[in-house]
Amino acid sequence: MRTTRPPLRTALACCLLAVAALVSTGCSAEEDRTLVVLGPWTDGEEKPFEATLKKISERTGDTYVYKGTRSLRETLVAQLRTDTPPDVAILNGQGELAEYARDGDAQPLPEGVAEAAIGPWSPRITLLDKDGEPRQHSYWVPVRVDLKSIVWSRPDTPDMAKDRGWCLGMASGATSGWPGTDWIEDLLLQRHGHSVYEDWATGRLKWDDWRVKDAWRSWQTLLEEGGDDVGKDALATPFVARNQGLLDSRDCTLEHQGSFIRRYYGDDVMPAPTSDFVPGPAGPQTAFEVSGDMAAVFTPSDAAWTLMKQLTSRETRDDWAAAAKPAERPFFPDRTAGPGALTKGTEKVLELFREADDLCFDASDAMPSTLRGAFQRAVLEFLQNPSDDKLLDGLLRQLEAERQLQWDAGAFAIDDLCGSLPDG
């Protein structure tokens, strides 16, 4: 049976109508699509970043929408399962990012973007390619960072040393316990150095090693200063209560917390190195723990890679700093906080940042996610009875079993967590 072909003019008209329909629905070109950025900032914290995205949009011509959530891992996993990932996700866990890279979800950085992947926030990791050959790539870039290994206090308060008391708040939704893991990590770093710290965080040092146990015991000594119920009280206390720092909402004088906490305090609350307040080696503290918010591409496109370049540019950092309140000014990987006047707390953090000989990425954030979760739960159990030696020994055995399990599975993808940087 013969098939009758439509006249050429009619066929061309149909094609043009079809193309016009695609353009009108926004399906014809990549540049017409809105890019989705998933990130951790909510409850007002996101506003400076959203303002920064608008500035980036003016430069690139692309459109961005920011989606913030406190349940970042759960949200991203659900999106990946339904094949609806964001274009770019901003996460704070290197171990989690390494898992996404291994699964092929986080994309390797191309030339021109990889230069922004600087340590200790963005190490190159080794993964097997499709032919089973090991290849090294960078998969994420730091967009903002925070300094840890510091203690906040009101140094001008009379008799502060005599009335010393530690602020403790462990409650933080699904990730409760992380202020305690920060304590263990910092004590291990300050008491035994960055090499031991790095070996432990990357799975090469066992959890029942005497140096790891020493860090837990050192924390126990500090807890005992607060009385018998300090641990149990901490379990029910949010790390930030009613939009107030613990120094204002609790009866305490010292708070071990990262530099982000300055947004809740005035210029009377200042940071100082952990070693000024806890037992450790003699001499000034030169190694500091740091954390970061890192951006990775999950839906690759030219527009997504352009956004990654913008997020690490000096122009974007200046825009972000200008959009933020003085006490919420972000810190950047080159140890700067943008132009303009700074609060006293921000100036002091930058001073400590620049004095550091070694910066070591947050240990638990670099661990495989299952081990990080087990670490947080162990802290919560430990606080039920910090003086119970059998309890601690049992918790360390459980954590060592999980470390061994993840080690055998090849889940430790990050080898280096510490490094030094030039001043910005």
Per-residue pLDDT reduced to its tens digit, 72-116: 999 999 999 999 999 999 999 999 999 999 999 999 999 999 999
- Average pLDDT (293-318) is 97
Is 6 or 308 the better-scoring residue by pLDDT?
A: 308
Tell me: pLDDT of 284 over 60: yes
In whole numbers, what is the pLDDT of the chain averaged over residues?
89
CB 317 within 8 A of CB 110: no
| % of the chain residues with pLDDT over 70 | 89
d(CA 54, CA 64): 8
In the prediction, which pLDDT does 175 show?
87
Check pLDDT > 50 for residue 293. yes
Q: Mean pLDDT over residues 255-280, rounded?
A: 93
Q: Is the pLDDT at 6 greater than 70, yes or no?
A: no
DSSP string, 122-179: S--EEEE-TTS-EEEE---EEEEEEE-SEEEE-TTSTTTTTT--B----B-GGGTTHH
Task: Round the CA-based radius of gyration of the chain to a whole number and report it.
Answer: 24
Dihedral (Cα; 285, 286, 288, 294), 10-degree rounding: 160
pLDDT of residue 127: 81
Neighbours of 376 (CB within 10 A): 20
Q: What is the mean pLDDT of residues 4-9?
A: 36
Q: Which of 423, 394, 398, 201 is nearest to 334 (CA)?
A: 423
Say if residues 65 and 36 touch (Cβ distance below 8 Å): yes
Average pLDDT, stretch 337-350? Answer: 94
Residue 63 neighbours by CB under 8 Å, 6+ apart: 33, 34, 35, 57
300 — pLDDT class (breaks 50, 70, 90): very high
Residue 378 pLDDT exceeds 50: yes
pLDDT of residue 4: 37
Contact 167, 255 (CB under 8 A): yes
* Full set of structural domains in the chain with CATH: 33-145+291-339 (3.40.190.10), 148-290+345-419 (3.40.190.10)
Percent of the chain with pLDDT over 90: 76
